């Protein structure tokens, strides 16, 4: 089973450290293709929701090379990058274990990218353009569950609803051969704004944790939702 407790308390990364982590990821040399910080956050949640703990060496390799997990060149020192990633991993793990709300690393789009008219999304309904900001997080989550398929091998009937809350932000073409999931998404109302979309990602993560990492004692109650605050702008 996945680890039932974080290895050590983790101090949350502050805004400066998140920017530092992004800068370190940007320095990963080609041809490696690293995650960005928003994709990384969704990816870590996907890793942590596996029913069996994924060895750190396996998931860490895909942070700096998303699809293939190729090794870093010998001259590249990943120490600080790995330190920051590990702190976020431990922080998210603690939130998932305790079924506590957390702040996903999703950031508002630039004003010019969020001023377009809402467009219909493959029949899934309409959402304001600002909601597109969650797409990298969802893409990172999708990468994790593709690389490490343990979660997706659990009871499909239980997984459908919480997965739909996440994958509603993907296009239908990205969900081929997932008829039950597509049908569930078509019944859902899209998020009304970015705040609601982000809160939905957290709720889906904790619902999936109830399936893949069930609490062994009395069922935990979700902590109250955080104040209705918008994600920060980057």
Tens of pLDDT, residue by residue over 12-64, are 999 999 999 999 999 999 999 999 999 999 999 999 999 999 999 999 999 99
Q: Which residue in 118, 113, 110 sits closest to 190, CA to CA?
A: 118
pTM for the model: 0.86
Q: Give one DSSP letter per residue of 10-61, joined into a string.
A: -PPP-HHHHHHHHHHHHTSPTT-----HHHHHHHHHHHHTSSSPPPHHHHHH
Confidence band for 4, pLDDT divided at 50, 70 and 90: very low
**By percentage, how much of the chain surpasses pLDDT 90?**
72
What mean pLDDT value characterizes the chain?
A: 87
Count the Cβ atoms, other than its own, within 10 Å of residue 5: 9
Which residues contact residue 79 at a Cβ distance below 8 angstroms, ignoring those fewer than 6 apart? none
What token pair was written down for 190?
């899209």
Q: Is the pLDDT score of 179 beyond 90?
A: no
pLDDT tens-digit profile of 98-156? 999 999 999 998 765 555 544 444 444 577 899 999 999 999 999 999 999 999 999 99
Residues 192-214: tens digit of each pLDDT: 999 999 999 999 999 999 999 99
Q: How open is the CA angle 50-54-55, to the nearest 5 degrees? A: 170
Q: Write the Ramachandran bin of 117: left for phi over 0, alpha for psi from -120 to 50, otherwise beta.
A: beta
């Amino acid at each position: 089973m996945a680890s039932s407790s974080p290895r050590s308390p983790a101090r949350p990364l502050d805004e400066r450290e998140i920017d530092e982590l992004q800068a370190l990821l940007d320095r990963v040399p080609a041809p490696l293709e690293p995650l960005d910080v928003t994709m990384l956050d969704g990816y870590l949640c996907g890793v942590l929701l596996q029913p069996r703990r994924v060895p750190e060496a396996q998931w860490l390799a895909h942070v700096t090379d998303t699809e293939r997990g190729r090794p870093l060149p010998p001259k590249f020192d990943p120490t600080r990058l790995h330190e920051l990633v590990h702190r976020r991993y431990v922080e998210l793990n603690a939130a998932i274990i305790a079924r506590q709300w957390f702040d996903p690393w999703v950031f508002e789009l630039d004003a010019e990218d969020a001023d377009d008219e809402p467009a219909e999304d493959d029949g899934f309904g309409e959402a304001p353009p600002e909601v597109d900001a969650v797409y990298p997080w969802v893409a990172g989550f999708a990468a994790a569950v593709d690389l490490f398929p343990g979660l997706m091998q659990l009871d499909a009937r239980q997984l459908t609803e919480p997965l739909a809350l996440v994958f509603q932000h993907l296009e239908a073409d990205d969900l081929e051969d997932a008829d039950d999931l597509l049908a569930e998404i078509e019944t859902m109302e899209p998020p009304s704004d970015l705040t609601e979309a982000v809160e939905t990602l957290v709720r889906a993560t904790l619902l999936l944790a109830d399936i893949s990492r069930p609490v062994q004692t009395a069922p935990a109650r979700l902590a109250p939702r955080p104040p209705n605050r918008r994600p920060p702008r980057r």
